[in-house]
Structure 1
């Protein structure tokens, strides 16, 4: 997949090209088998198609989310395996970096995103990969969401997909709350208390707690995983699901499992 910034009618836009199948089927199949074996359906990886199929999925999901009142890019045009998308502004990740460690600014940005995810969930929406790089914030402070070339509902229920959203979000935010996990935990607890069915699905993975305890001392990446576990535990006793999320994301994103390299 490639994304190119272009200007259309004087406005910034993105031309997104969807590559053909990138050979992840074996890895995703293994991860799916693990999730099934542990009875953690909320962490089953959805299929990751390429080319025109991925483009069609993203176009469909964008239309669904827009109908649910979620701020997502508009489709300005499309080809066989490309979409021309409107620009929603800076990514959440860029805004967090610009905050340069200012806790009050980070907390304000994070609370706005947490509220936006919770509001979307209340309308029946789900995302799949709500990591800081896939969330946007414009100059007016409006939160948007991008990157939808896969659909979790192909392998799980809506409450499970929404549980996956919170777990992915907590993992992505762990590095920005290193040493302040209780602050992020408090933000998440406020919304998870309103989503009992979602919390119940995520709460089925406590069997990985021992592994989480062992990796927390193995460097920055492992510490972020361990901290994200503590955040979710404090918020709603969702314990160590984020270890598996981190491994899954590492494999899907890079084709390798760096955390397992660290362990073995």
Structure 2
């Protein structure tokens, strides 16, 4: 729950309590109006009979009633101040909701960027894996060619005519052996180069795969954060609507009660 939500709920509770108190006060005002009307009638009757002492008692009671009415007016002013405070809280809540919506939009953009990066990584990985497969196939072809060359040399050596001079025989054997060693060395050098390239590419693919897993985990966290923020904004929006409805209800009831009081004969009761 956001830190300001508890304050809004307290304001709502205070508004409901204030509304209840105002209804109680207005009910007392109506009773006092009725009593005042009755007393005014009796005063008029006492005037006609000259009963001054009892008349003064009734006048004092009317004055006390008017004093209570002033108290109610003071309570009305307090209620008006609290109403303004509540309206300000509603405005602040709207501002916070707008800020939350902007943050949600920003997080959504970040999620889209992460998804784009993840797709690019997956595409790159697929290309690298294809290239690695081609290199391994090429290495296998080179190995087969090397073995074929070795078999060919052996076959040539086997079919070569025998030289009666020992020195010539040894020279030919050394030349063939030298050629075979050169071919083997060249093949091994090429094979090591390809093997090194393949290992580098496999390392790059593994790093990209790990990065892709990190992006996937981060994407899940971002989605959870978005869902939580959406829920918070929804609760906030519902609370704001409820407060606005309570505020309008309170204001309408207050205006109706004040209008009813203004048209009543209570304020026109004469005092002598």
More strand, by proportion = 1
More helix, by proportion = 2
User: What TM-score does the superposition give when structure 2 sets the normalisation length?
Assistant: 0.20
Whichever of the two has the greater Rg, that structure is 2
Higher relative contact order, structure no. (Cα contacts within 8 Å, ≥ 6 residues apart): 2
